[in-house]
Structure 1
């Protein structure tokens, strides 16, 4: 796949292809500057950050990035240390790996580091990508865990605070691969002011910086839009009782489809 567009933020559903063309990772590499890219890898969501970090180090080095560094941050206080902030200031791209999104948020939340990331992304001089756990954290509200295979209910999903890169979104990952439709619906019932986005494995919401994103990869992205919601029993039912959600709008998008998440409309090419 030829990549000709610059994507300021790339939110990946996990298990992205790393060996057979690596189209999503290539899109990130090129967006971050290609052969001029200085890429920082943040593997702290993983229980094996050295192993995971090295895998992406090898990938981006082989692609030809000018510089690749692993930001092996292990404690929250490190996110405010000058050495890591200096490393960040020299990066053109930051890649957050998979693992445990709670661990990632506990380390990064409220830090100078993540505030600098958000500021630079907003100014257009840093490209940010996250996969799996690194995707879950982008909303103001975050799915920390939960179950699948049941009807939507309050106990199906664990919710907490995310890092707020896109405050209006509520993201789930490994979506159809792990049967998480009911989980995302349950999350949206709890926060009907948010827009639900479920991203399949080896699939990416590639944001253009103008309120829209494009679908890259082999799977689909499911949009759950509660903007027209006329009724939910969420506030009054018991935690294990099935939820009612009337007049949700659902879109299923695939490779090349585009969506305006600010206006909440599918863009027809």
Structure 2
């Protein structure tokens, strides 16, 4: 493909950005630091909730009271916590099933395998009601598989195994962050280079590799890093300073403009690009 045509396709694509209303808390797996748990609860308006837990990415069969009691929400005093789980798309498309989402202020998606979340809920009434949680100003969070599903491109979506990065027929996420591919456990599982071939094949995508115990808190076009480790940003539209390190490293407290694809300095309610090389 000619370079000029490739660039035209890239810049004509939908920009990378989060939802216009509401907040996303996208966690790279592992333990959940207090800073991330508190961020999620605050974005929901407090521990009063109501909250919804979605365990569908996992393979367990028991999602009752014991599961709720083990959740970080219950351990912090939340009492209004509902569980939403099915593998039947007809159920996911039913009014009775989505009822808890219509009053929820916060939704948390547990880890496992992201293809299970896509197979059960993508383009169903459940998916639409999750968007409505954000439109009401609520928060959607998730860890590991619950992080990857929030991007538009589904990395490691093959049922055959999570070693397959790009799997035709299993490449569509829920799209809460447009034009992105989200990976998790990136340093803990030595995945720091895994998103590079994804963004090279799909140059309109911004790759977000989130390490364990770390969250991307996304509001609109801005991403802020919360937690203990790093987020690695892969952008095929930018030539890296070091060809052996094809990503930008974001650390706790850093802010990143998803649309400009630049690390920015936050000042009050404003954010301005840092003095560094752009696109």
Normalised by the length of structure 2, the TM-score is 0.77
- Which runs of no fewer than 5 residues in structure 1 stay unpaired? 1-5, 147-154, 231-245
The correspondence for 1:11, drawn from 21, 26, 47, is 26
2: CA distance between counterparts of 1:187 and 1:110?
23
1:43-89 CA-partner distances (Å, limit 9, x unpaired): 00001153698445442123122411111223221111111221110
For residue 177 of structure 1, what is the aligned residue in structure 2?
188
2: CA distance between counterparts of 1:56 and 1:199?
26
| Residues 1:191 and 2:191 aligned together | no
1:188-236 CA-partner distances (Å, limit 9, x unpaired): 11111100110000000011x2310110111100011122369xxxxxx
Matches within 5 A, 1:144-163: 144=156, 157-159=165-167, 160-163=171-174
Matches within 5 A, 1:196-207: 196-207=207-218
The correspondence for 1:223, drawn from 210, 216, 233, is 233
2: CA distance between counterparts of 1:40 and 1:185?
34
For residue 260 of structure 2, what is the aligned residue in structure 1?
263
For residue 4 of structure 2, what is the aligned residue in structure 1?
none
Q: How many residues align?
A: 237
- Which runs of no fewer than 5 residues in structure 2 stay unpaired? 1-20, 267-279
| Residues 1:166 and 2:163 aligned together | no
For residue 22 of structure 1, what is the aligned residue in structure 2?
34
Q: 1:214 to 1:7 in 2, by over 3 A?
A: farther
| Residues 1:68 and 2:81 aligned together | yes
2: CA distance between counterparts of 1:163 and 1:53?
28
User: Is contact 1:16-1:24 (8 Å) kept?
Assistant: no
Which protein is richer in helix relative to its size?
A: 1
What's the RMSD between the two structures over aligned residues?
2.7
1:223-251 CA-partner distances (Å, limit 9, x unpaired): 11122369xxxxxxxxxxxxxxx799621
